[in-house]
Amino acid sequence: METAREVLTALARRYAFGDLEALMGQGTLAADGSTAPVAALCAFGQRVLDLDAEDFGMPEEAGEVPRDLLDRARASRMPQAPREHPRGALASLRPAYSLLLEVIAIRWHRRDMAALVAAVHIAGEYLPLLAWEPVLGHAGDPALIGAAVRGEGSRFGVPVEPGSARVCDHTRPERSACERTLRVAKEPPSGWRAYLDRQHSQVAAALGDCAARCRTPCTVMTRLDGLVRADLGDRCRLAADFADGALVKLRHAAPVGHGFGVPSPEEVQAAWARARRSLARHPLGKSVADDDSYPLPGLPALFSAVAAAELRPDTLLHDVTERITSTLA
């Protein structure tokens, strides 16, 4: 017969942090204080697994989390005030995409397909900013982006005059988001958070369109060196095709989208196989077709190609599990 500690250890190795914390709260182990660190680690692990990025690296009510784990999570945190430091995912999205790769793999092994599709959708939304990061020197930080998109000849965030010809391909919501990103760093924290919740992903889409799809480029693009511009365009087109591909479109058949179905693992595999074939036609997407040990083969190669840097799955949640199991032992 399995002991209580063996059951809890098995839950930890399945990344079932919420279930583990609930069982411990019901007194599954003796309440001698020795399990308090486990409760804090469970709360932290569940927050990271849920991609609750606005609260990454914050203290947990359940107890104290080791500082090294908190610092690693903060690298993927979205700052909740205009002047908050460090800048986390606004400084670089590379740690966040490494974490996304770990979370997607865990969701696959747990057969949590709805959560997997939600994570893939998040990855698709912000992928253009990952592509722009080497050019901007940051990941679309509203406090810094003005230097790269303002100036004579730029149409970034500029309202369209009534009756004038439309020469910018941005949609009205994208233009509104672009205009807001140029001033939101001077707003109070409540306005800053509202922007991040509703408009930051639209700025990502707008910048992706600037590089990949614009028919009449303005100085946002023409100010760039020719080779830089060509490389950025290739990477943004790869990002756009991923976001428009079969895997991301599964979101619309899941509870996180507009329907009530949840895709099966077989449907996820089939959708990714279709997306891979399409992405492999890109000059930068050939590595996506290479098989690897990742549950969705080629996805780390795709993110790496878009980022122009090698990205591998993080081990943050694995390390949380190791801390829990060593404490339980």
What is the tens place of the pLDDT at every residue in 293-302? Answer: 999 999 999 9
Question: Which residues, at least 6 apart from 240, have a Cβ–Cβ distance to it below 8 Å?
Answer: 128, 208, 209, 212, 213
Q: CB burial class (10 A; 0-12, 13-18, 19+) of residue 83?
A: exposed
What three-state secondary structure class fits 150? coil
Question: What average pLDDT score do residues 158-178 get?
Answer: 86
- Distances 276 to 83, 109, 121, 123, 241 between C-alpha atoms, Å: 40, 20, 16, 16, 10
Question: Alpha-carbon distance 178 to 165, whole Å?
Answer: 19
Q: pLDDT tens digits for 109-128?
A: 999 999 999 999 999 999 99
Give the pLDDT mean for 231-260: 82
Q: Amino acid identity of 166?
A: R
pLDDT, position 34: 58
Tokens of 175: 């233009």
Residue 278: half-sphere exposure toward Cβ, Cα within 13 Å? 17
Given a contact cutoff of 8 angstroms between Cβ atoms, the answer to whether 279 and 285 are in contact is: yes
Confidence (pTM)? 0.93
Do residues 88 and 75 touch, judged by C-beta distance below 8 A?
yes
Nearest residue to 123 (alpha-carbon basis) of 267, 260, 242, 274: 242
pLDDT value at 62 more than 80: no
Please state, in angstroms and rounded to a whole number, the distance separating the CA atoms of residues 35 and 21: 10
Q: Look at 161 and 213; give whichever has higher pLDDT.
A: 213
Cβ(48)–Cβ(318) below 8 Å: no
Looking at 4-13, 31-40, 275-284, 304-313, which range is the least confident one? Answer: 31-40
The least confident of 38-42, 83-87, 163-167, 254-258 is 254-258
**Rounded CA separation 71/146 (Å):** 29
